[in-house]
Structures are given as C-alpha cells and as structure tokens.
Amino acid sequence: MKSTDRLARFGDRLSLPLIAAPMFLVSGIDLVAAACSSGVIGSFPTVNCRTTEQLGDWLGEINRRIAAYEQASGRRAAPWCPNLIVHRSNARLADDLKLLLQHRPEVVITSVGSPQPVIAPLHDVGAMVLADVASIRHAERAAAAGVDGLVLLTAGAGGQTGWLNPFAFVRAVRQFFDGVIVLAGGISDGVALRAAMTLGCDLGYMGTKFIATEESLADLRYKAMLVEASADDILLTKAFTGLQTNMLRPSIVAAGLDPDDLPERGGIDIGKDIDVGAREDRPKRWRDIWSAGHSTSGIGGVVPIAELVAKTTAEFRSAA
C-alpha cells in the first residue's frame, strides 16, 4: 500500500502534513490536545506518564478535550499519537500496549528497538505504525518487519538524534520503501516542511518549536533559553546518554559544567533523568540539562500552539 493510501484515512483532518514530535517531559495533555485541535498530529511518549493508570487518565482527558473542540467547531481534529518505547528496558511496555489497544489509536510511533512485537496487535485495532530510525540498516529492518511508516531521525533533530544528511537519507529510503516517510530534524517553518514534501516525505516532525509554546510542559527557563538561543548553541554529545544527543549549551553551563570539556561517552555523574533515588544536588539530564534541535534558530518567542500552526500553515502555502 502506498503512503498516500495509508494517510487517506485522516488526511482531510490535517491543516498541515505535520506531527508535533513526542518529547520526553515536554509533551503533555495540553500540548497534544491543542495540536490535534489545530490540525496537527499530537504525539507524546507514554513514559511521560508515571504509571499506566495515569496514561489512561491522560488518554481520557485528551479525548474529552478533542470531543469538546469537535462539537464546538463542527470540524474533526487531527489524531492523537502515543509514542511507545519498545526497548526491553521499558518494563511497562506490555501494560501500556494493552491500554492503548483498548483506546484504539489511529497512529502509534515506536522508538528505541524493533517494532515487530507490537505491529500485529496495533494493526488489529486499525492503528498505523510508524517506527523511528536513524540509519539505512534500521530503516530496512523496520520496513521488513511490516511498519506502515518510518520516522527518519536526521542530523539536527533534538534529543537523541540521527547523523545522516536528510536529503541523502530520504532519497536512499525511497529507493526501497513506498510507505509513509516522516522527516525529523531541522524543520523550523512551513518553507522547510514544503521542502520535505518535495524531497519525497509525507509528513514532517516539528519538536523544538513546540517546546517554546504556552501548552508545553517545559520549564519556563527552558522556553526562555530557546528564545535566546540559535543553532550555534546546540551541542552534539554522547556525554549525558551514551548516544549522540543534541543538547543546549547554555543549559550545560547553567548546570555548572563546561560544554567544551565533557567526557566522550556517558561519563558525567548526573542524576539519571528523573529517578527518585538520584542525589538532589546533581543536575538531571532532560530535567536540568535540556535538549533542542537546530531549528531553535527559528524561535522568536513563546506562543500558543494555534498561533504557531497558523503561521506555519501560511508559510507552507506560500512556498507551494
């Protein structure tokens, strides 16, 4: 099935061919509901919820808000989209998946591992499965497993990122994959999104600019830092996660570390994410040391999601 056929089920509900990227500790109920109501696929990592029970609460509230929007506006909202971490380290995977199957999502993104174990049950409830990949080899494996689409993590994406040039990556994948392709990395406005469509993509990921919105869960200092920063302030390092990760240099400085003198790979004594047992006097990655992509250069202020989407839509149309 071609990518256009796969997207036909909800394509007329999108104001833009765009996904508000799932971001750890940033994407929450307000962001997802506002994105969907604005005609953009709103995604979030299920692990942003502390428990599977809380995940159920989130899904219930997101659906209530979307239903209220649809009733008031007379228009259908874009789909909400959970992001499942399918790596064996996610002890909640089975429980989260069971809950999602009850809620019958239209789209699901899988990350950090093979999507194969979750594809069949998600397809059984009608979900379109996208897998994020950062190399040709991983793209080939995910395609062979039967995913409906691939999220190509390219150089410039925030957080744990890819390293391939987006032009080369997309064109290489299009040689063997006719499913949905989503470009992640450096999409800062509607012109860049239009370029991604010309390149052969079906959807784009936009993450960094959604951090600097009124609805995101990000710390106010984080949002302010993004407004002041440019792409020159993004540092690609393995020091905090052991994997290539794009981080904000000013947040590293604020944590009392020298961004130009970091260990090569995962050697910093920091609190791991938001672990309860972490020493309180240590900065925590993601909580205190923040990530962003190259598109931080396009952030001029903290705005409502509706305003961000409207501006991006105008840019996208003007670039046709």
Instruction: Give me the residue label for tokens 């109501």.
Output: 37
pLDDT band (50, 70, 90) for residue 9:
confident
Q: What is the pTM of this model?
A: 0.93
Asked whether the predicted pLDDT for residue 4 surpasses 80, the reply is no
Q: 183 vs 41, 190, 196, 231, CA distance in Å? A: 14, 13, 7, 18
The structural domains of the chain, ordered by start, are 3-216+300-318 (3.20.20.70), 230-291 (no CATH)
pLDDT in tens, 299-313: 999 999 999 999 999
| Rounded Cα gap, residues 305 and 27, in angstroms | 12
Asked whether the predicted pLDDT for residue 277 surpasses 90, the reply is no
The answer for residues whose C-beta is within 8 angstroms of residue 54's C-beta and 6 or more apart is: none
Query: Can you say how many angstroms the Cα of residue 28 is from the centroid of all Cα atoms in its chain?
Result: 12
Asked whether the predicted pLDDT for residue 57 surpasses 60, the reply is yes
DSSP state of 296: G
pLDDT in tens, 205-214: 999 999 999 9
pLDDT in tens, 99-157: 999 999 999 999 998 999 999 999 999 999 999 999 999 999 999 999 999 999 999 99
